[in-house]
Amino acid sequence: MHFKVRAAAKEDCKEISRMIMELAVYENMADQVKTSHEDLKRDGFSPNPFYECLIAEVPDEHKTKDGYTVVGYALYFYTYSTWKGRSVYMEDLYVMPDFRGKGIGTGLMAKVAQVGVEKQCVRLQLSVLEWNKPSLDFYIAKGAEDLTAKEGQWCLAPSLMLDPVTLHLLLWTSREIQRT
């Protein structure tokens, strides 16, 4: 399936907000969502944004039955470890259920990893709910390591962020999936 990953624009905030709620419903935490699309506009598109976001978009011929072409997003921000240095933290990676297994999640994650490398980050951090086996399996397949016992978090091993061959493979896989 063809799709493109691009930087989110202020105009995408309603779509991002919709998908944030879809993710929260899946995680049984819809009552925890307090941010509105207006908050997303303010916090992500000001002169000093608190986050960055990528969206995955499919062509009109693949739009959902409800007419959506924006079918996934990755929301991330930068953090700093006094021991390890720069990191990128991926807060959310979400792909609508009908579009999973088509390389969109891999494409979004590859782009976040690429941005991290460009910003000289040493690792990509993320959190996964322990009951969310499909997501755990997805991240493990991408090289994530369970550092819960060691560090209390999931994180891509630092070598994956610094190893150009691994990053190239992740990006190549994403491009190949888009061509099929």
CA nearest to 96, candidates 16, 6, 9, 177: 16
Query: Which amino acid is it at 54?
Result: L
- Tokens 């986050």 sit at which residue? 51
Residue 164 has what pLDDT? Answer: 53
Residue 166 has what pLDDT? Answer: 56
Q: What is the dihedral of CA 107, 55, 69, 139, to 10 degrees?
A: 40
Cα 76 to chain centroid, rounded:
7
- The structure's pTM equals 0.85
Is 41 within 8 Å of 10 (Cβ atoms)?
yes
Q: Give the count of beta carbons closer than 10 Å to the beta carbon of residue 118.
A: 9
Residue 91 has what pLDDT? Answer: 95
Q: Where are the alpha helices (DSSP H) in 71-132?
A: 104-118
For the chain, residues with pLDDT lower than 70 are 149-180
Q: Where are the beta strands (DSSP E) in the chain?
A: 4-7, 52-57, 70-81, 85-95, 123-126, 144-147, 153-156
Residue 180 has what pLDDT? Answer: 47
Residues 73, 89, 94, 139: which is the catalytic one?
139
pLDDT digits (tens, 9 = 90+) for 77-106: 999 989 889 999 999 999 999 999 999 999
Delineate the domains of the chain, giving CATH numbers in brackets: 4-179 (3.40.630.30)
Is 73 a catalytic site residue? Answer: no
Q: What is the dihedral of CA 91, 7, 12, 53, to 10 degrees?
A: 10
